[in-house]
Amino acid sequence: MELSQYLSMFIDESRDHLQAMNDNLLSLESNPQDIGIVHNIFRSAHTLKGMSATMGFEDLAKLTHEMENVLDLVRNNKLEMDSFIFDCIFKSLDALETMVEDIIQGGTGKADVTDIVASLKSIVTGEYKTSGAAAGTAPAAAQAPSGIEVDEYQFSVLKQSIEAGHTVFYIEVAVRDDCVLKAARAYMVFDVLEQNGEVVKSTPSVQDIEQEKFDRTFSVYYISRLDKAALEKAIMNVSEIETAQIVQVDHDSLAEMARSSREQLGAEAQQETAAAAAAPAAPASAASSASSAEQKKPAASAQSAPVANRTIRVDIERLDALMNLFSELLIDRVRLEQLASEVRRSDLTETVEHMSRVSSDLQNIVLKLRMEPVDSVFNRFPRMVRDVAKTLGKKVDLVISGADTELDRTVIGEIGDPLVHLLRNSVDHGIEAIADRLAAGKSETGTVQLRAFHSGNHVFIEVEDDGAGINRPKVLDRAVKNGILTQEQAGRMTDFEIDQLLFASGFSTADKISDISGRGVGLDVVKTKIESLGGTVQVQSVPGKGSKFSVQLPLTLSIISAMLVKLGSEKYALPLSSIVETAAVKQANIRTIQGNRMLEFRGAVIPVVSLSRVFDVPDFDESAEAETEIVVIRKGDKLAAVTVDEFIGQQEIVLKSLGNYLTNLFAISGATILGDGQVALIVDTNALIK
């Protein structure tokens, strides 16, 4: 089978499952008694195991299998979760992630998992409690008892079926010696069976059978309404099947199975494969892992599995292509609107208006397609903070809010690393050690808040801790020592400026270099990265109370509403989001105060910026006019009046990049294409306000 075409699907799904397991495990840690969560983790592990086995990633499958064994004991109340088990499973998840990453990078997904497997096994055998944490090598035989547990669930299914009047069979099918496509034949048998009833359990597992990992025979527990003869006939109808032994299972034999399997629990267990050929009674049921049928059952029996949204995965490049095509369409729409208004034919106008409405709806959808909730970045942080805090011996609560805030996916893809830095920094440097916290009269557990919210055309992400705050004298001292500042400069800085020194390159206040942060390459990297995304980052701090890092990011919407203005023969677009209002004012009202041109506007005096002068526009100068049009713009709480020649109107414009060649342009954030095919530049109004 050609598997590469399934690889991307495998990668996506494994990531989802790993994430789900991580999330669930975290919630389980805070709520260890909730077996429902264990079920969820188990299901994810199980699916992952099946997928990786199918794809031939043996180590992945092996590790998940061992995890499954542990989880299985837990969900059947045979084992209590404790911190060793949690750590062990977290470690396994890390290893799994590493392997999946390796596969993404084109590797084979192979990794040495013997240590983790050994510790998992020691959990299953219960040895870890006696032999200490890192049990070197557990006896290989300790692998299978889980099979019994799995079967206990199936026993109840079987039992209920019998009680409900269904017939339960144990069927052993042997394919012919000379059969070429054993897996295919087996599949056909399963197909026949599933048409007439339900396979509860198969040995070997369905995955193994699909991979031809069985000798000649396989056996199933099967619930059906058919009678034995009809069943036998149906199975034998599949060609190349040698025999089909069918034994009906009743109450007594079921009880027998249950008892002998319990005896099996303490005793040494059977290897999976050995059990395949075993007799109908106990041993067969004692072996093997869950089958796919087993996986279906819990879902069917309405466990607390969250109902997933119905989604499909789309290559991001296709979305980009869609976006580009749509922007072309938008340009034509504007052009059509212009033409229609010139032609003045009512039926044309109506059609164009309808088209406009449809395309605005389409625009909303296309834009939303590119938006992703920040949750997809945030969801890995609880785990990370937990690990970091644990390493440092601190107690930290991470409180996330606004995880449903949406951001363009290009930004989402880039923002993860900077946030990791900020969070690590907060846990490492922000939150004090437990003793220090208690001494300062704070609670033992520190809190790190991670917030995301929309404001205007920006998304803010804040990381706030209730730690010690920034030690300003130490920061200054360090900055001077590292040659970032002179002593003289240091004396003149405001508290706010001192705080921002944290982002200077080659700066670290940690006395000891730790694994977590403090190599002096943290925060300046964060700053560079965020600025490259068109955002800003700053920090505010109150000594003794904590620090707050605020990251401001553009939504980077590809389509924005803008006001088009004219300056002589040139046209410019001003983003509507930064415009407060437009007005016409008399030149006489613009006064020069201390060399700056100012305007009294709604009770405040605001600076006047001449766009034509800023941009050296050759054929327009508003000073010749008696009355001039102004656009009042806003940056934070600062206002300014920008003088222009003429307003053209409000329009939806498509943001176009100016390419890689033109960068660092003053007060220009991009370009757009107007209805007449001309390029108009988009003014970065923030640059006009100092």
Partner 1 sequence: MSEEKKVIVFALGSEQYGVEVEAVKTIERMQPMTRVPKCPEFIKGVINLRGVVIPVIDLRSRFGLPETEYTDNTRIIIVSAGDYEVGLIVDSANDVIDLDTDQIDNPPEVVGGIKAKYLRGIARIGDNGLLVLLNLEQVLNKAELLQLSAFHEEE
Q: Which residues of this protein are in contact with partner 1, per CB under 8 A?
A: 324, 327-328, 331, 570, 614-617, 656-662, 664-668, 671, 673, 677-681
For residues 135 and 118, is the Cβ–Cβ distance under 8 A?
A: yes
Residue spans of alpha helices (H) in 456-516: 472-481, 487-491, 495-500
For residues 469 and 444, is the Cβ–Cβ distance under 8 A?
A: no
Tokens 């990531």, residue located: 15
| b/e 633-665 (16+ beta carbons within 10 angstroms → b) | bbeeeebbbbbbbeebeebbbbbbeeeeeeeee
- DSSP string covering 28-96: HHH-TT-HHHHHHHHHHHHHHHHHHHHHT-HHHHHHHHHHHHHHHHHHTTSS---HHHHHHHHHHHHHH
Q: How far is the CB of 566 from partner 1 (least distance, A)?
A: 13
Please work out, in degrees rounded to the nearest 5, the angle formed at the alpha carbon of residue 132 by the alpha carbons of 131 and 137. Answer: 60
For residues 91 and 111, is the Cβ–Cβ distance under 8 A?
A: no
- DSSP string covering 152-204: HHHHHHHHHHHHTT-EEEEEEEEE-TT-S-HHHHHHHHHHHHHHHEEEEEEES
Q: Which of 183/614 has CB closer to partner 1?
A: 614
Cα–Cα distance list, 391 to 385, 421, 428, 556 (Å): 10, 16, 10, 37
Q: How far is the CB of 681 from partner 1 (least distance, A)?
A: 7
Q: How far is the CB of 332 from partner 1 (least distance, A)?
A: 10
Helix, strand, coil percent content, the chain, rounded in steps of 5: 50, 25, 30
Residues marked as catalytic: 46, 68, 425
Cis omega (within 30 of 0) on the bond before 204? Answer: yes
The identity of residue 536, as a single letter, is: T
Tokens of residue 204, six digits? 């070997």
| DSSP-assigned beta bridge partners for residue 548 | 464, 540
The residues near 252 (Cβ < 8 Å, ≥ 6 apart) are none
Q: How far is the CB of 668 from partner 1 (least distance, A)?
A: 7
Give the end-to-end CA distance of the chain in Å, rounded to a whole number: 64
Phi, psi dihedral angles at 145 (to 5 degrees): -50, -25
Q: Which of 195/657 has CB closer to partner 1?
A: 657
How far apart are alpha carbons 227 and 392 in whole angstroms?
A: 65
For residues 172 and 197, is the Cβ–Cβ distance under 8 A?
A: no
The residues near 468 (Cβ < 8 Å, ≥ 6 apart) are 430, 432, 436, 440, 543, 544, 546
Q: Which of 277/667 has CB closer to partner 1?
A: 667
What three-state secondary structure class fits 689? coil
Tokens of residue 197, six digits? 């009833």
The identity of residue 631, as a single letter, is: V
Identify the sign of the CA torsion 362, 367, 370, 375. Answer: negative
| DSSP-assigned beta bridge partners for residue 552 | 460, 536
Taking alpha carbons only, the member of 198, 238, 245 closest to residue 218 is: 245
Strands 604-610 and 638-644: parallel
Q: Which of 406/570 has CB closer to partner 1?
A: 570
Phi, psi dihedral angles at 607 (to 5 degrees): -70, 150
How far apart are alpha carbons 33 and 74 in whole angstroms?
A: 10
